Chain A
């Protein structure tokens, strides 16, 4: 697989805060890469540096072989970005926003028209094209933002927390769209603080905590390192203890060895949240 995004010792300092602290990371062409981490972990800052919006304090990023600082123009040609917050002109229609993006990307008028109707079709927004962005639901607004970021056919799409605030159905439809884009050849770099989202979508996951990458692998490999089976024992209805085992047989042997008065015992598959908690002693949702 070809290396598409390469970050080396990437660092951003705001005063004495290290928002991103010496990040080394490679994202391969064609994959869906997920950046998982709690609020303030440095996910958005990383994306902003990768997408030429913020200057790194130190370190480097190359995308498609070009340095994001020195060859920003070359990088901008191949990236599409969907910001954490909707970044459209909300008093214009979806189509007007698309036309604006197409103009900024210097598409010719005929090309513009064709591309806009193609894309509207692709994401299922055709009937909403002439509605004001402000009048759309949250899920539709997200789609509108995505459709604008795709106007120049980027090779990699950055999605910063794409499903925050969407209902279950909206979230699944967005996941389907991301998968479809990926299978049509777009590399995806997304951030999330939803474990299920990372597990459902991403080939590889990087876990970010206080500006540092604390784990990086496929979800299965990360779980395997920890143990695929988790045993939760709830002691006296207050404290929960976690133990991890390679397989169910081992977990069962452990449960049988527990004293009879132990209280509730839960045996389940481990997940990325367990990986995160063990690595940091904190929950992904914060705390």
Chain B
């Protein structure tokens, strides 16, 4: 057990070291998009709008936090792993070491989780400043952390199955970008026709934004969504192991 934890940390260690060189730009770039959304949607479009009891700004902030956690965790994990695999070619060194595949996957997930957590908490702080009535409860933080971890696993999985830089940017444009807009981040899913709703509930980000919003606005907490999110995490983890087993021994 202790060995496993040490192994996971060793895998994480090199990513942390690597991040030390460019952490400032990494954080700043990850905040640009969500801040633009906050301004454009929160103030620009939704200025006077109310959704139910709350202002649109209060409604959209948890959505933007979910989106930040999603894109930063996913990209943080996926881009580093792709760099390891195709640019540094150092991923082989990991596969050749005595570290188990489980520890490799867990370790490679941590850099995305860390980056996602830092960026979403930064956005959250901005949100709390703009909208002091938001409730940042332990439950909110739990949901946020689970989201970061699951989306980071998603990134590791995709970086393992997609074998080229080109494929990665295609995936980003066809899957990641639409998800950031559609998964209940900017609008309430209640307004949608039934089939669209079902389709969106199949995506993990929907469950993250529902959980975070419920926690922040004091709605009944959707435990099922948190559970589904964890289920996605397990599925991605298994996917990673299967992908790794396919090629290496």
| Residue of B with least CB distance to A93 | B17
Cβ contact within 8 Å between A76 and B98: yes
Tell me the bound Cα distance from A73 to B6 in angstroms. 17
A55 interface neighbour in B88, B90, B249, Cβ under 8 Å? B249
Does the CB pair B99–A85 fall under 8 Å?
no
Residues of A within 8 A of B96 (CB): 51-53, 76, 79, 81
The reply on A72 being an interface residue by CB < 8 A is yes
The chain B residue sitting closest to A68, CB to CB, is B249
Please judge, given known A-B contacts A69-B249, A103-B10, A106-B3, whether A87 and B98 are in contact too, CB under 8 Å: no
Q: How far is the CB of A110 from chain B (nearest CB, A)?
A: 15
Q: Decide: B21 and A91 in contact? CB cutoff 8 A.
A: yes
Q: Mark A59-100, 1 if CB is under 8 A from B, else 0.
A: 000000000110011001101010101111111100010001
The 4 lowest CB-CB distance pairs between A and B, nearest first, are A103-B10, A104-B97, A87-B89, A100-B14
Q: Is A54 an interface residue (CB 8 A)?
A: yes
**Known pairs A68-B249, A100-B10, A104-B98; A87 contacts B17 (CB<8 A):** no
A105 to B11, CA, bound (A): 11
CB pair B93–A87 under 8 Å, yes or no, is yes
When distances are taken between beta carbons in the complex, the residues of chain B under 8 Å from A73 are 98
Give Cα distance in the complex from A86 to B88, angstroms. Answer: 7
Q: Are A89 and B13 in contact (CB under 8 A)?
A: no
Cα A273 to Cα B21 with chains together (Å): 48
Bound-complex Cα distance A106 to B10 (A): 9
Q: Is the CB of A104 within 8 A of B10?
A: yes
B residues within 8 A CB of A90? Answer: 88
What bracket does the count of chain A residues touching chain B fall in? 20 to 34
Does A193 belong to the interface (CB within 8 Å)?
Answer: no
Contact B17 A105 (CB under 8 A): no
B92 contacts A by Cβ under 8 Å: yes
Say whether B248 faces chain A, with CB atoms less than 8 Å apart.
yes
**8 A Cβ contacts from A130-177 to B:** 148
B53 to chain A, nearest CB (A): 50
Give Cα distance in the complex from A229 to B249, angstroms. 47
A106 engages B6 (CB within 8 Å): yes
Residues on A lying within 8 angstroms of B by beta carbon are: 51-55, 68-69, 72-73, 76-77, 79, 81, 83, 85-92, 96, 100-101, 103-106, 148
Cβ of B39 within 8 Å of any chain A Cβ, yes or no, is: no
Q: Is the CB of B98 within 8 A of A55?
A: no
Contact B249 A91 (CB under 8 A): no
Contacts of A85 in B (CB 8 A): 89
Give B93-119 as 1s and 0s: 1 = Cβ < 8 Å from A's Cβ atoms: 111111100000000000000000000
A83 touches B92 (CB 8 A): yes
* B25 CB within 8 Å of chain A: no
Interface assignment of B247: CB less than 8 Å from any CB of chain A: yes
Task: Tell me the smallest distance from the CB of A279 to a CB of chain B, in Å.
Answer: 32
The interface residues of chain B lying within 8 Å CB-to-CB of A91 are 18, 21
Q: A89-B90, A104-B10, A104-B99 are in contact. Are A55 and B247 (CB under 8 A)?
A: yes
CA separation between A55 and B245, bound complex, in Å? 9
- Complex Cα distance, B19 from A89, in Å, reads 12
Which residues between 9 and 64 of chain B lie within 8 Å of chain A, taking CB atoms?
Answer: 9-11, 13-14, 17-18, 21
Q: Which of B10, B92, B98 sits near A53, CB closer than 8 Å?
A: B92
Question: Are A53 and B88 in touch, CB under 8 angstroms?
Answer: no
Inside 8 A of B14's CB, which chain A residues have their CB?
A: 89, 92, 96, 100
CB distance from A89 to the nearest CB of B (A): 5
List, in ascending order, chain A residues with CB within 8 A of B92's CB: 53, 81, 83, 87
Report yes or no: B88 in contact with A72, Cβ–Cβ below 8 A. Answer: no
A92 surroundings in chain B (CB, below 8 A): 14, 17-18
Contact of B97 (CB < 8 Å), options: A76, A86, A89, A96: A76
Q: Check B13–A52 contact: CB distance below 8 A.
A: no
Contact with B89, one of A79, A86, A96, A106 (Cβ below 8 angstroms)? A86
A87-B93, A100-B13, A106-B6 as given contacts; A54 in contact with B21, CB under 8 Å: no
The 0/1 profile, CB within 8 Å of A marked 1, for residues 209-236 of chain B is 0000000000000000000000000000
Are A52 and B248 within 8 A (Cβ)?
yes
Residues of chain A with a CB closer than 8 A to B90's CB: 87-89
Q: Is A105 within 8 A of B88, CB to CB?
A: no
